[in-house]
Amino acid sequence: MPFFSVAVAEASILQRPFNNNISAAYVFGDSTVDPGNNNFVPTLFRSNFPPYGKDFRGQTPTGRFTNGKLSTDLVASYIGIKEYLPPYLDPNLSIEELMTGVSFASAGTGLDPLTAQISVGSVISLPKQLEYFEEYKTRVQSGIGKKRMEAIIKDAVFLVSCGTNDFVINYFTLPIRRKNYTVSAYQKLVLQNLKQILQDLWDEGARRIAVTGLPPMGCLPAVITLYSENAILERGCIEKFSRAGMEYNRMLQNELNSMQGRLAHLGAKITYIDIFTPMVDMIQGFGKHDFDEVSHGCCGSGFLEAGFLCNPKSFVCFDASKYVFFDSIHPTEKTYIKLFLASRPVIDLMIQN
């Protein structure tokens, strides 16, 4: 991204409200919010090598599946915690770093337990991420005491971003779930599992929880490549994928609204973050004029490369800010910035006292 536009975007993000006392940020989910936990587990779902991180500080490939920052880094910076949200499994984290928040997310995982099991290698399931959070609390408590630890958790923001792998990899690509579930039934299964995760977070002390919906999954370059009749010439979004995501998002919004209504008197702030609408605008609407390429990734051919297929030997575009996607699945930093800016009103409501 050209320096001027980066500076403008960063300045806009840093104009944060001053009436918040958020203590930390905790993130659970998949590769869209994994800053490098998969570097520390035996899996091929990694991105700790170039060209990933080519626009990150020091051109460092940290394990983020993009060219720069993730949306969760932008959130942490905006609310004044720190510039980057680190992976919990990094063994070098200090107690001070732990106290202000970490990400437990793992690329390749899902809300359906089967999704993590079918991944190449051992990725971290959502229930396991919750176990790590319990372990985290014990570690912090041993360093600063139970009272201070509980105060940090009470005033923290919790972000959950997961579900794409359940549909794209698990349901639509593999036959196991399709044998027993219609799309509607599978949406309900995934949502039920998410509800359990949210209940577990609540039981662990979370009071401010934001959940991102699914993106327009049919617009992911890899999905277009795999499911178009002629992927070379026809790069339009695949409707059945995006429709499944849109329907799931409606169900998710209703559930989160219901939870908020039930728990508001206990101090709950449970919110939905829409990434579907702004991404559709970037790809198909007026926002597409901000990008030169909306249906190919920046890495390699842009058709299928992601993870180890996007590697130091791959061709990589010169300016990733001209692309919606960095590889065939994951957005560029510029896309994450635009998604953050679109969701900022919701974040403001969540972090206000």
In this prediction, residue 4 carries a pLDDT of 37
In this prediction, residue 10 carries a pLDDT of 52
Q: Is the pLDDT of residue 210 over 80?
A: yes
According to DSSP, the residues that pair with 161 across neighbouring strands are 29
Number of domain units in the chain = 1
In a domain, 146, yes or no: yes
In this prediction, residue 15 carries a pLDDT of 52
In a domain, 182, yes or no: yes
Pairing of strands 293-297, 269-273: unpaired
pLDDT tens digit string along 251-302?
A: 999 999 999 999 999 999 999 999 999 999 999 988 888 999 999 999 999 9
Going by C-alpha positions, the residue among 58, 317, 46, 343 that lies closest to residue 212 is 343
* Furthest CA-CA distance within the chain: 61
pTM of the model: 0.95
Q: Is the pLDDT of residue 112 over 50?
A: yes
pLDDT tens digit string along 299-349?
A: 999 999 999 999 999 999 999 999 999 999 999 999 999 999 999 999 999
Q: What is the mean pLDDT of residues 203-218?
A: 98
Q: What would the DSSP string read from start to end of 251-311?
A: HHHHHHHHHHHHHGGGT-EEEEE--HHHHHHHHHSGGGGG-SEEEEESBTTSSS--GGGS-
Distance from CA of residue 280 to its chain's centroid?
A: 17
In this prediction, residue 20 carries a pLDDT of 67
Q: Is the pLDDT of residue 1 over 90?
A: no
pLDDT tens digit string along 125-168?
A: 999 999 999 999 999 999 999 999 999 999 999 999 999 999 99
- Model confidence at 9, pLDDT cuts 50, 70, 90, reads low
In a domain, 321, yes or no: no
Percent of the chain topping pLDDT 70: 94
Residue range(s) defining the domain that contains residue 54: 3-213+240-274+329-347
In a domain, 80, yes or no: yes
What's the CA gap between 279 and 342, in Å, rounded?
A: 10
In a domain, 187, yes or no: yes
Q: Is the pLDDT of residue 74 over 60?
A: yes
In a domain, 13, yes or no: yes
What's the CA gap between 204 and 206, in Å, rounded?
A: 6
Torsion angle of alpha carbons 201, 204, 205, 207, nearest 10°? 10
In a domain, 196, yes or no: yes
326 neighbors 320 (Cβ within 8 angstroms)? yes
CATH number of the domain within which 208 lies: 3.40.50
Percent of the chain topping pLDDT 90: 88
Residues noted as catalytic: 31, 327, 330
**Alpha-helical regions (H) of the chain:** 3-13, 71-78, 95-99, 113-118, 126-144, 146-154, 164-165, 183-203, 221-227, 239-263, 276-284, 333-351
In a domain, 324, yes or no: no
What's the CA gap between 229 and 235, in Å, rounded?
A: 10
- Average predicted confidence (pLDDT) for the chain: 93
